[in-house]
Amino acid sequence: MAIEEEKRFVSLINEHQGLIHKICFMYENDSDVRNDLFQEIVFQLWKSFRSFRGEAKITTWMYRIALNTAISRFRKQTRSVKTEDLKDLHLNISDASEDDMMENIEHLRRSIQELSEIERAMIMMALEEVPYDEIAETIGITQNNVRVRMNRIREKLKKLMSHKPWNSKT
């Protein structure tokens, strides 16, 4: 790869590293493993950089590669690791202290992890305010299907969030 291409790639990663970190955060709890996933995603982006044809937005292309990498790794892990019991989750936002807010954020993160891989990817993009047409292009479905699925995902999250607290102090 030419020096100019390498500079463009490094600049691209620096500019959009937040996107990669958010995907890593949603798929990995352990910070060391998250860092490994980040490096793996950057490596996959590097391998694919020359083949990027500009037919989609650069962020759409990055999302797709990052999500595919995270999902592949997640699938490998779920074959060998027991899943946590997260059935007793609950979120209570009213009159929340800072500690409660941090607990609520963690609860939301764990609830999102209970979603399917595709649902998790979609909700992450929606939280990033990615337009539905870009979500559709990234996931490979129609815009209308994105709308329908997003409504279902929101309902599913509401149910997950309405369960009893997983680490209630009461």
**pLDDT at position 36:** 92
> Is it the case that residue 46 has pLDDT exceeding 80?
yes
**pLDDT at position 87:** 34
pTM above 0.85, yes or no: no
Read off the pLDDT of each residue in 52-60 and give the average, rounded to a whole number.
85
> Is it the case that residue 86 has pLDDT exceeding 60?
no
Mean of the per-residue pLDDT values of the chain: 79
- The pair of three-digit structure tokens given for residue 94, joined into one six-digit string: 């009213």
Enumerate the CATH 1.10.1740.10 domain ranges in the chain, comma separated.
1-82
> Is it the case that residue 110 has pLDDT exceeding 60?
yes
**pLDDT at position 20:** 92
Alpha-helical runs (H) found in the chain: 3-27, 31-49, 58-80, 98-113, 117-127, 132-139, 143-161
CB 167 within 8 A of CB 103: yes
> 53: how many CB neighbours lie within 10 A of its CB?
7
Instruction: Give the pLDDT band (50/70/90) at residue 97.
Output: low
> Is it the case that residue 169 has pLDDT exceeding 50?
no
Top-level class of domain 1-82: mainly alpha
Q: Which helix (H) or strand (E) holds 118?
A: helix 117-127
Q: What is the CATH number of domain 84-170?
A: 1.10.10
